[in-house]
Amino acid sequence: MSVPPESVVPPPSEPSTPSTEGPTHEERQWALLAHLSALIGVLVSGHWFGVACFIGPLVIWLWKKDTLPFVDDQAKEALNFNITLAIIGVVLLVLTVATLGIGALLTIPAGIVIGIAWLVLVIIGAIKANEGEKYRYPFCLRLIK
């Protein structure tokens, strides 16, 4: 007696390996830390546009750039963004001093707006990195490639 082809069950296939697309949990954690380390640097230094805002991303990038590609990308992005903001902070300070304080009428409000934007963008970058997405800051000098 013959069995109809529809009733034949195919042999079990090899178990599929888990998908390796996207960054690993470790890479996502380090990328998250690369973004948030700028916040830690600002809190430690006590300055909004202090040098410490890019020390954290720099250390993480130098430490993990050769072993974790996602961290390499996100730490460079965080580093470039924080260097850009540090440069903007120095420019605002120079403008204030060069105008004998009169420029503070413009530089202080600009610094506050830039500081709030910096905080929001760093948090968004950290969240996106933790989700495994490559985040690009909207305005950033790409000094480290």
In a domain, 64, yes or no: yes
In a domain, 72, yes or no: yes
- The pLDDT value recorded for residue 14 is 53
Q: Which two tokens stand for residue 115?
A: 């500081």
- Residues 6+ positions from 32 with CB-CB distance below 8 Å: 126, 129, 130
- The pLDDT value recorded for residue 16 is 46
In a domain, 107, yes or no: yes
In a domain, 12, yes or no: no
- Residues 6+ positions from 52 with CB-CB distance below 8 Å: 41, 42, 44, 45
Q: Which two tokens stand for residue 4?
A: 């109809």
The total domain count for the chain is 1
In a domain, 1, yes or no: no
**What distance, in Å, lies between the first and last C-alpha atoms of the chain?**
70
For 44, the domain range is 25-130
In a domain, 76, yes or no: yes
- The pLDDT value recorded for residue 43 is 82
Q: How many CB atoms are closer than 10 A to CB 39?
A: 16
Q: Quick check: 41 and 50 in contact, CB under 8 A?
A: yes
* DSSP-derived 3-state class of residue 50: coil
Walk along the chain (145 residues) and give the pLDDT tens digit of each residue.
Answer: 566 666 666 555 555 444 557 899 999 999 999 999 998 888 877 655 566 788 889 999 999 999 999 999 999 999 999 999 989 988 999 999 999 999 999 999 999 999 999 999 999 999 999 999 999 999 888 888 8
